[in-house]
Structure 1
Amino acid sequence: MQGWSKFEIPDMVMMDILSKLPVKSLARFRCVCKPWSSSFRTPDFITKHHQNNLTDNNLNLLLKRCHGNTRNDIHYFSALSTEKGGNFSVTENIHLPFFENCWYAPVVSGPCNGLLCLHDAGKAALWNPSTREFKILPQSSVNRPPSIDSTRFGCLGFGFDSVTDDYKVVRFVTNYFNENEDEGLQADWIHQVELYSLKSDSWKEISVPEAHPYGSPLFNNYVNGFYYWQATGNSNYLILSFDMANEKFSTLPLPNFGGSLAQYYLQLLDFNGSLGAIVYPREGTEKSIDLWVMNGSWTRQFSIESVSGVERPLGFWKNGELFLESSNHELVLFDPATRELKNLGIHAYRNTMKLIVYVESLVPINGTSEQEERIIRRQAGDASNRH
Structure 2
Amino acid sequence: MERSVEVVVGTNEELKKEEVSSIHVPDDIAFSILSKLSIKSLKRFGCVRKSWSRLFENPYFMSMLRNHFLSNNNNHSDYGGGHTFLVIQEYELPLTYLSDVHCIIYLLSNDDDKFDNRIKLDLPPPFHDNDSLFYILSSVSINGILCVGQDTTRESVEIFQAVLWNPATAEYMVIPLSPSESVPPYRDTVCKFHGFGYDHVTDDYKLIRYLSFFRGTDTDYYEYEPWEDIWYDPLLEIYSLRSNSWKLLEIDMHDIAECVYYASPRLGREVYMDGLCHWWGSYDLQNVTGCLVSFDFSNEVLFTTPMLLELGECCDDIIDRRLVVLNESIALISNCFQASTFHISILSELGVKESWFKLFIVGPISFIECPIGVGKKGDICFKQKNDELVWIDLSTQIIDEIGVKGDKYCFQMGIYNESLLQIRGFNN
TM-score (norm. length: structure 1):
0.70
Matching residue of 2:416: 358
Deviation at 1:182, TM superposition (A): 6.6
Q: How far apart, in 1, do the equivalents of 2:132 and 2:424 lie?
A: 27
Report the aligned-residue RMSD. Answer: 3.4
Q: How far apart, in 1, do the equivalents of 2:371 and 2:137 lie?
A: 17
1:101-147 CA distance string (max 9 Å, x none):
47532353241333222212311112223333222111113586767
| Residue 283 of structure 1 pairs with residue 312 of structure 2 | no
Deviation at 1:351, TM superposition (A): 2.0
CA contact (8 A) 1:109 1:118 kept: no
Q: How far apart, in 1, do the equivalents of 2:394 and 2:214 lie?
A: 47
SS at match of 1:306: coil
| Residue 66 of structure 1 pairs with residue 66 of structure 2 | no
| Residue 138 of structure 1 pairs with residue 191 of structure 2 | no
Q: How far apart, in 2, do the equivalents of 1:232 and 1:316 lie?
A: 22
| Residue 344 of structure 1 pairs with residue 402 of structure 2 | yes
More strand as a share of residues? 1
* Cα distance change, pair 358–103 in 1 and its aligned pair in 2 (3 A): closer
1:354-387 CA distance string (max 9 Å, x none):
112232223332289xxxxxxxxxxxxxxxxxxx
Q: How far apart, in 1, do the equivalents of 2:201 and 2:284 lie?
A: 33
* Cα distance change, pair 164–67 in 1 and its aligned pair in 2 (3 A): same
Q: How far apart, in 1, do the equivalents of 2:204 and 2:117 lie?
A: 33
Higher relative contact order (CA 8 A, sep 6+): 1
| AA of the residue aligned to 2:306 | P
Q: How far apart, in 2, do the equivalents of 1:64 and 1:143 lie?
A: 27
1:310-340 CA distance string (max 9 Å, x none):
2222233455432222222222122234433
| Residue 150 of structure 1 pairs with residue 188 of structure 2 | yes
| AA of the residue aligned to 2:334 | V
| AA of the residue aligned to 2:206 | K
Matching residue of 1:79: 107
CA contact (8 A) 1:289 1:303 kept: yes
Matching residue of 1:48: none
How do 1:81-120 residues align onto structure 2 when only pairs under 5 Å count? 81-83=109-111, 87-94=114-121, 96=123, 98-99=126-127, 101=130, 104-111=133-140, 112-120=142-150
Q: How far apart, in 2, do the equivalents of 1:189 and 1:252 lie?
A: 27
SS at match of 1:229: strand
Match of 1:198 among 228, 241, 248: 241
Q: Which moved more, 1:182-191 or 1:268-277?
A: 182-191
Deviation at 1:173, TM superposition (A): 2.2
CA contact (8 A) 2:329 2:346 kept: yes
Match of 1:312 among 370, 373, 383: 370
| AA of the residue aligned to 1:92 | I
SS at match of 1:221: strand
Matching residue of 2:261: 214
| Number of aligned positions between the proteins | 315
Q: How far apart, in 1, do the equivalents of 2:392 and 2:114 lie?
A: 13
Matching residue of 1:295: 348
CA contact (8 A) 1:115 1:128 kept: yes
* Cα distance change, pair 150–162 in 1 and its aligned pair in 2 (3 A): same
* Cα distance change, pair 108–330 in 1 and its aligned pair in 2 (3 A): farther
SS at match of 1:339: coil
Matching residue of 1:129: 167
* Cα distance change, pair 95–131 in 1 and its aligned pair in 2 (3 A): closer
Match of 1:272 among 299, 309, 327: 327
* Cα distance change, pair 294–123 in 1 and its aligned pair in 2 (3 A): same
SS at match of 2:404: strand
Deviation at 1:90, TM superposition (A): 4.2
Matching residue of 1:383: none
Matching residue of 2:391: 333
Q: How far apart, in 1, do the equivalents of 2:275 and 2:391 lie?
A: 30
Q: Which moved more, 1:303-312 or 1:93-102?
A: 93-102
| AA of the residue aligned to 1:292 | S
TM-score (norm. length: structure 2):
0.64
Q: How far apart, in 1, do the equivalents of 2:78 and 2:302 lie?
A: 31
In the alignment, structure 2 segments of 5+ residues that lack a partner are 1-73, 152-159, 350-354
* Cα distance change, pair 105–317 in 1 and its aligned pair in 2 (3 A): closer
Match of 2:276 among 212, 218, 226: 226
SS at match of 1:167: strand
Matching residue of 2:294: 241
In the alignment, structure 1 segments of 5+ residues that lack a partner are 1-50, 369-387
SS at match of 2:399: strand
Matching residue of 1:375: none
| AA of the residue aligned to 1:271 | L
Deviation at 1:237, TM superposition (A): 2.8
* Cα distance change, pair 147–166 in 1 and its aligned pair in 2 (3 A): same
Deviation at 1:186, TM superposition (A): 9.1
**Identical residues among aligned pairs (%):** 26
Q: Which moved more, 1:267-276 or 1:311-320?
A: 311-320
Matching residue of 1:35: none
* Cα distance change, pair 323–73 in 1 and its aligned pair in 2 (3 A): same
Deviation at 1:233, TM superposition (A): 6.4
CA contact (8 A) 1:161 1:225 kept: yes
